[in-house]
Amino acid sequence: MTSPRSEFLQVVAERGFMHQCTDLEALDKRLGEGPAVAYIGFDATAQSLHVGSLMQIMLLRWWQKTGNKPIVLMGGGTTRIGDPTGKDEARKMLSDEDIARNMAGIQTVFAKYLSFGDGPTDSMMVNNADWLDQLNYISFLRDYGRHFTINRMMTFDSVKLRLEREQPLTFLEFNYMILQAYDFAELWARNKCVLQMGGSDQWGNIVNGVELGRRVHGAELFGLTSPLLTTSSGAKMGKTANGAVWLNADMLSPWDFWQYWRNTEDADVGRFLKLYTELPLAEIAKLEALQGAAINEAKKILAGEVTRLAHGEAAAAEAAETARKTFEEGALSANLPTVSVAAGDLAAGITAFALFVQAGLVTSNGEARRLIQQGGGRLNDQPIKDPAQPISSADLKDGVLKLTAGKKRHVLVRPE
């Protein structure tokens, strides 16, 4: 089709959010008729979402910004099943307490990206446990199970891949797609929700929902998926050395979050600016055209914008300033991550390798020794030659010690 007329779909197309859509023209037409309701589901598998989900959150944000109503669906019910999509084996069962705790952690992040309330374009949050938990098995099978054929279910990747790899797929997991389809139909019935979005791996689950809605409610529903993002060198988004890039500040500090974006590969800068910031496309075009070292400026803007959305203006500014002092001036910034050691211990002297362990820069004495022996350990910006070198109060500068592991990881140590 030609370029979409609706503002939402224009944004989605221009900025790279579009992977597949069940019926782009019809959805465009529907959006032209007035505000619509769309949802994205988030299962409560961890205490925080990570940047892998950020594209979905931005989609909801654009949806709201372009005059529509977003629904955030918390998968309180479906998390008890476990989505087999893209997994080689069943995830361990999460207890109800874990799920409740995870949901509480995840919910907080949405308030930063969406405005909630009762207005026509205000976002709302619902929990599919509200309807899934009370389903009656036989009734459900008769009303909904008859719309699914095993023949067709076996053709979906989530099922097919497991079977082809001869990995077990339990009946519990096999039901996941049915429940997700039911969610969509239910959200149509309750809130006239007409669109489900999600990552491309959710395509099968989404299509099932579209079809189920048509069969049981005669509703015209739509699905739209975003591409699975990898970095230019092929790594999945959101993973780093120390684990996932969490969106919650208590799981990953705004400083580390800023650093993650600052270290974006050159080739990804333009793509990420379009997806994860709201800068005008013309400005992004200029930034991504920067060559050589100049593109670092674009990375700083990327880091600043993304951090501002996730953690606020102040946190973003502080991270930028800390980075400037630390990396560009080589000066000491008081806002670097800080750990404390007992003043008495420091006065007595602590071996360098032990201090690196205490500072959390490495996880074992052996690793600390290796780091230092290989020339990757510095104290107050001076290389440490001997892992056993004692460090004491005499090394304090302005009341702190600055420890560095490698080129990028800095920690301040304060006696207390």
- The residues that touch RNA, with contacts defined as CB under 7 A, are 166-168, 232-233, 235, 240-241, 259, 262-266, 292-293, 295-296, 299, 323-324, 326-328, 357, 363-367, 370-371, 374-376, 387-388, 405-409
- The Cα–Cα gap between 191 and 187 comes to 5
The CA distance from 333 to 398, in Å, is 11
What sign for the dihedral angle of Cα 348, 352, 358, 364? negative
Q: Select from 188, 222, 186 the least CA-distant residue to 12.
A: 222
Region for residue 360 given its phi and psi (left: phi exceeds 0; alpha: psi -120 to 50; beta: otherwise): left
What are the structure tokens assigned to 327, written together?
Answer: 């990396």
What b/e string do you get for 136-160 counting C-beta neighbours within 10 Å, with b at 16 or more?
A: eeeeeeeebeebbeeeebeebebbe
Q: Residue 144 annotated as binding?
A: no
Does residue 297 contact residue 303 with C-beta atoms inside 8 Å? Answer: no
39 is in an annotated binding site: yes
Task: Provide, rounded to whole angstroms, the least separation between the CB of residue 152 and RNA.
Answer: 20
Q: Which is nearer to RNA, 69 or 410 (CB)?
A: 410
The SS3 assignment for 223 reads strand
The amino acid at 173: E
Is 260 within any annotated ligand binding site?
no
Tell me the C-alpha distance between 355 and 334, whole Å. Answer: 19
CB 176 within 8 A of CB 84: yes
CB of 256 to RNA, least distance (A): 10
Picking from 55, 11, 21, the residue whose alpha carbon sits closest to that of residue 221 is 21
Cβ-based nearer residue to RNA, 21 or 273: 273
Helix (H) or strand (E) holding 207: helix 203-217
Which of 37, 371 has the CB closer to RNA? 371
Q: How far apart are CA 391 and CA 368, in angstroms?
A: 14
Q: Is 239 annotated as a binding residue?
A: yes
Q: What is the DSSP letter of 78?
A: G
Instruction: Tell me the closest approach of the beta carbon of residue 285 to RNA, in angstroms.
Output: 17
For residues 104 and 235, which CB has a smaller minimum distance to RNA in the complex? 235
Round to whole Å and give the CA distance between 42 and 40.
Answer: 7
| Comparison of 50 and 61: residue with beta carbon closer to RNA | 50
Q: Which CB sits closer to RNA, 138 or 293?
A: 293
Which residues belong to the annotated binding site for ATP?
239
Which residues belong to the annotated binding site for L-tyrosine?
39, 176, 180
Which residues belong to the annotated binding site?
39, 176, 180, 239
